[in-house]
Amino acid sequence: MSEPTPTTEQAPPRILGVDDYKVSSPFPLGRVLLVRLEKQRYWVEDNWFCRFVRVESPDGQTTTFPCYRWLIGDIRLEVRAGPAKTSKDDTLPELLAHRKAELKWRQKTYRWLRWASGIPQCIEAKTEADLPQDVRFDNEKRSDFEHSLHYALMELSLKKLAIRFGKSWTDLEDFKRIFWKLKSPIAEYCMDHWKEDWFFGYQCLNGCNPRMIRQCNKLPDKFPVTADMVQSSLCHKTNLQKELKAGNIFLLDYSIMEGLPANVIKGKQQYIAAPLCLLYQHPDTGLIPIAIQLGQAPGVDTPIFLPKDPPLAWLLAKAWVRHSEFQIFQLLSHLLRTHLVAEVFCVATLRQLPAVHPLYKLLAPHLRYTLEINCRGRTQLISSDGIFKRVVSTGGEALLTLSQREYKVLTYRSLQPRLDFRDRGTTRIPKYLYRDKILLLWDAIHNFVSAIVGLYYESDSDVEDDQELQAWIKDVTEEGFAELPDFGLSSSLKSREELSTLLAVIIITCTAQHAATNNGQFDWCAWIPNTPCTMRQPPPTDKDAVTMDTIMSTLPDVSQSCLQMAITWHLGRPQPDAVPLGHYTEEHFTEKEAHDLIEKFRKELEEIETQILGENEGQELQYLVLLPSRVENSITI
């Protein structure tokens, strides 16, 4: 006798209906290889979401058949038992045929699309409505996503009416007039300290774009800073040359923004700069900016701003650097380097790895909402009234141009945190909290996936002989990253270590790296002067001519400021249904050995959590964005 028990629910966590069915067989069934689910279409909507089926044998042994699929319309679906298996582990013709049939259906359903030249390929879907239901938001997630944005926009619309719609401010204090209700402790700290040089340097290390900074051992010719210019910013008994040699000078170079066409918002021209910013690791005050040039070509109209210049001129120069930061972190560090990179692996996983494959079971929870959120993001980028085009200086064609420029230099190596810090010369810079915390998470993730790989691949030859795995990596490199010959990822995998590193890159990209660039953006952008989304006047060419009127006419107006607050709050807020790193609401693995490894991973994350909380205790400015409990298990926003 067998007793299949399909449990179905739609749109978790809001359960619309759960039914248990017990089906008894009068005859011995023997070993159950597959469970077939069939549903017929009725007049009313009757879609079902099947999480799993459990089959109990006469001797009391239970086998779980994971499903996690929508049953829509007339459908017949066959699911495998839970234990993960590579293709070499299957010898029965029925199971091998099932693997092939599943992949054939998947490859027909999930197709590559070259959305635009010079960026990663994506899923073939014009909007999120074109996606299969299995990779779309559930009802609760969709409702929350849409409600949160409408809520923020409505509140800030009231603020605009309460002030003066579309007009400039008169003083920096005026920005406080929209700084209520939607705020955070860090945003308030930012409001009080944003003018201070040490705080500017702190954000280069621990803000929402923490991987832009590089060590500078030789000044570029395009940035002719002299020793006399910066001597007053350096310690006594040292000079610029000594500090360059000692590795204490760092550079922010926004050359990627050079020559971009600026946006036009409501008929008014906006402006873009491509700054260079030199920073010094001061032994007493920490990392501080010591020279800023607001263009890539030095000259009379491109002065070098210094801390000893008139205070308003120095303040405006720093605001221009922070404005460039907004463009870079939103479009490149956040969208391109996490969302679009993750989508390549998501599409390849759906196309090339059957649900029974151990790597599908490992990756599926980390890639769950990638396709829908990316489809929504692309809609915002290309639509004429998309939010990006309504608020940022790089709206319009510059959005795509900037992405294409970054994609040309994107490397697999740069997605590996430890190698990235080494290449940027930032392994020893003090108080680089982002570096220290993401390396803790990288090691934990790498240890976990290495153990999973070791569980299912006994040797390097097992990796080489897994034809589904090799088809997967080939799909990634020759389709997803087709226009990136120098990406640095091979089209074949030859060892367990290569595979483990790649899996760790995928998971950390979808979790910790996304959290680092997304989750804190409201903290750093809510106080508009600190990270302005757009600039309404060109960069200053005369230091002595900068006045408060210059600054206020340059920074975003009331309408733009309100939109910036709404967008960054909506994108950076904690998700109500968030699943923390290491926790899995879908139980794809059913075998004890895999569960034990997951539990070990969770305990390591708990130890990291305790360590981070202990280090932040008593700190006025806390760095908690990479706290494991706040790092979501997948990209969902």
Cα angle 615-213-309, degrees, rounded to a multiple of 5: 105
Q: Which two tokens stand for residue 53?
A: 């089926």
| Per-position DSSP letters for 421-486, written without gaps between them | HHHTT-SS-TT-HHHHHHHHHHHHHHHHHHHHHHHH-SSHHHHHH-HHHHHHHHHIIIIITTT-TT
Phi, psi (deg, nearest 5) at residue 474: -65, -40
Strands, E, within 244-380: which ranges? Answer: 249-253, 264-265, 268-269, 276-282, 286-293, 304-305
Residue 434 CB contacts under 8 Å (≥ 6 apart), including other chains: 205, 206, 210, 211, 516, 623, 626
Residue from 102, 76, 593, 89 nearest 353 by CA:
102
- Cα–Cα distance between 246 and 613 in angstroms, integer? 33
Give the C-alpha distances (Å, rounded to integers) separating 166 from 229, 442, 521, 547.
40, 45, 24, 21
46 is in an annotated binding site: yes
Tally Cβ neighbours within 10 Å of residue 82. 20
Q: How far is CA 436 from CA 184, 429, 431, 612, in A?
A: 24, 11, 8, 10
Rounded distance between C-alpha atoms, residue 257 and residue 273, angstroms: 7
Helices 139-162 & 558-572 angle (0-180, nearest 10): 160
Determine whether the annotation assigns residue 339 to a binding site.
yes
Is 334 labelled a binding residue? yes
Does the annotation place 583 within a ligand binding site?
Answer: no
Q: Which residues are annotated as a binding site for Fe cation?
A: 334, 339, 514, 637
Binding-site residues from annotation for Ca(2+): 46
